[in-house]
Amino acid sequence: MDRRQSLKWLSGLSAFILPIIAHNPSRAADSGKLQKTKAEWSTLLPAPAYRVLFEDDTERAGSSPLNQEKRDGTFICAACQLPLFDSSAKYESGTGWPSFWQPLPDAIATRTDFKLFYPRTEYHCSRCGGHQGHIFNDGPPPTGKRYCNNGVALQFVPRNEKLPALRG
């Protein structure tokens, strides 16, 4: 590659890269992540919700009133109030935890968790990072996934009520 060719290559490359660089800051701002310390969350949330959301606790099976919630509506993060699941994706898994076969788009993020002897897929709210539950592969069609959620980490908003503003 001579100098002229390499300059041409570089300008071609920058034409490709610059829009990506220019685009990224706006994407980061749009994502609207909420960063709070555990100490802040512990003062904002009831203790059982705080322990699940930010200390990775698991609620006792069958303890959540949301197991019986069958109305149309939206399940939102109990910490930052981001909508996480629609009631149309909820089903009765028989596990004693509210279960869904699909989250709302971009609502959750995952990581592998080795707290038990085998790896599990942990998932959390994509906005505040609050722990919600684990994903298993024994769910119903069409996804075959079971999002096994701690009820205390969610709040239910019936369809005819306005969703609350995201927590700032």
The residue among 49 and 82 lying less far from Zn ion, judged by its C-beta, is 82
125 classed as catalytic: no
**Residue 125 interacts with Zn ion (CB under 5 A): yes or no:** yes
130 belongs to the binding site for Zn ion (CB under 5 A): yes
Q: Does 73 bind Zn ion (CB under 5 A)?
A: no
Order the strands of the 90-91 sheet from edge to edge.
90-91, 99-100, 146-149, 131-136, 120-125, 108-113
The DSSP 8-state label assigned to residue 162 in this structure reads P
Are residues 80 and 113 in contact, defined by beta-carbon separation less than 8 angstroms? no
Check residue 79 for interaction with Zn ion (CB under 5 A). Answer: yes
Q: Is 127 in the site for Zn ion (CB under 5 A)?
A: yes
* 49 or 77: CB nearest Zn ion: 77
Extended strands (E) in the chain: 73-77, 83-86, 90-91, 99-100, 108-113, 120-125, 131-136, 146-149, 154-158
- Shortest CB 94 distance to Zn ion, Å: 27
Rank residues 12 and 164 by Cβ distance to Zn ion and give the closer one: 164
Q: Determine, following the binding rule CB under 5 A, whether residue 78 of this chain makes contact with Zn ion.
A: no
What's the first-to-final CA gap in the chain, in angstroms?
53
Residues that bind Zn ion (CB under 5 A): 77, 79-80, 82, 125, 127-128, 130
